[in-house]
């Protein structure tokens, strides 16, 4: 699965969700995204040793939390009938024009 393009990932998640009857409205997906973003934030704080906490490497699992966010982003895109690969390409073209590279 690691070499799939964005459309293939969206299709995979669409099947995964339907097979489990896990369809949820965008508002629920958004709430879940915020929860997962909080888990990413907690990992970042651990990585910075925020508050002097002693955190072992095994307590930091950024890979899993970013994967959770990607799953939800793909699920949200499906729920909103958005081709995320096309949307991303168009937005990056806009960004490239708006923010030209420094010489
Ligand atoms: Mg998580």
**8 A C-beta contact, residue 10 and residue 84:** yes
The helix (run of H) or strand (run of E) holding residue 43 is helix 26-47
38 alpha carbon – ligand 1 mean position (Å):
9
What phi and psi values does residue 70 have, to the nearest 5 degrees?
-65, -45
What is this structure's pTM? 0.88
The domain ranges of the chain are: 6-98
What's the confidence (pLDDT) of residue 55? 66
User: 83, 7 in Cβ contact below 8 A?
Assistant: yes
- Higher local confidence (pLDDT), 13 or 43: 13
| Mean per-residue pLDDT over the chain, rounded | 93
Q: Judge whether residue 62 has pLDDT over 70.
A: yes
CA 8 to ligand 1 center in whole angstroms: 22
| Residues near ligand 1 ion, CB 5 Å cutoff | 36, 39, 65, 68
Token duo for residue 35: 């929860």
CA of 69 to the centre of ligand 1 (A): 8
Give the domain 6-98 fold: Helix Hairpins (1.10.287)
Tell me the CA–centroid distance for residue 58 and ligand 1, in Å: 15
Instruction: State the distance between the two ends of the chain, measured CA to CA, in whole angstroms.
Output: 38
Task: State mean pLDDT over 14-34.
Answer: 98
Q: What burial class does residue 66 get, using C-beta atoms within 10 Å of its C-beta: 0-12 exposed, 13-18 middle, 19+ buried?
A: middle
Given a cut of 80, whether residue 51 has pLDDT beyond it is no
Q: How far apart are CA 65 and CA 41, in angstroms?
A: 10
For residue 64, is pLDDT > 70? yes
């Amino acid at each position: 699965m690691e070499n799939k393009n964005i459309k293939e990932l969206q299709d995979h998640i669409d099947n995964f969700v339907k097979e489990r009857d896990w369809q949820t409205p965008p508002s629920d997906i958004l709430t879940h995204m915020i929860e997962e973003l909080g888990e990413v934030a907690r990992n970042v704080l651990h990585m910075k040793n925020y508050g002097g906490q002693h955190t072992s490497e095994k307590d930091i699992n950024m890979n899993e939390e970013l994967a959770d966010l990607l799953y939800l982003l793909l699920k949200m895109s499906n729920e909103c009938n958005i081709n995320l690969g096309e949307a991303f390409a168009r937005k990056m073209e806009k960004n490239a024009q708006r923010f030209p590279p420094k010489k």
